[in-house]
Amino acid sequence: MPGASGQDEIVFLPLGGAGEIGMNLYLYGFGPPRKRHWLMVDLGVTFPGEREPGIERVLPDIRFIEEERGALAGIVLTHAHEDHFGAVADLWPRLRAPVYATPFTAALLRLRLIEFGLENDVPIHEVPLKARLDIGPFDVEFVTMAHSIPEPNALAIRTPAGALFHSGDWKLDPDPLIGEPT
């Protein structure tokens, strides 16, 4: 589906988390190049090493999507680990998009937003486990996985131009302590 002709296409743009541990932020775009809609998956932090003394957390560079924020349909959080949701309170004021999360992740996010004085500002849409919903032109299905925290999800993302699978974090565990097996 070539974008140069103005046809709808799906694009993937990682702004963090690809090829590194932490700071997960993935963008999925749909539409022709000049009228593209965006879906953000995760908005996390990473933690510095010994070479960055005095720095507590590192945030992803969101300048691209900040400039395109009018086309940002929503922010979907796969689970409540810091490297997947830890930058929401810091960066949401620059994005101002609705946030979608399962109940456990939404509860932890609400606690974090209180710390930042944003508890009444960020629109959080609490999504039931295994839900399927439309976020702009994206049909997003939450797929329950096993991990080391409650309610981790992969995402099946469908558009008129095709479908893709975002795995999120997961582990193979035939008998997990929490949740269902992957």
Q: For 61-95, what is each residue's pLDDT tens digit?
A: 999 999 999 999 999 999 888 988 999 999 999 99
Asked if 66 contacts 94 with a C-beta cutoff of 8 angstroms, the reply is: yes
Q: Which two tokens stand for residue 65?
A: 């999507």
Strands (E), 86-170: 99-101, 124-126, 132-135, 138-144, 153-159, 162-166
- Domain regions of the chain by residue span: 9-129
Under the banding of pLDDT at 50, 70 and 90, the label for residue 173 is low
Q: Does domain 9-129 have CATH number 3.20.19.10?
A: no
Give the global pTM: 0.90
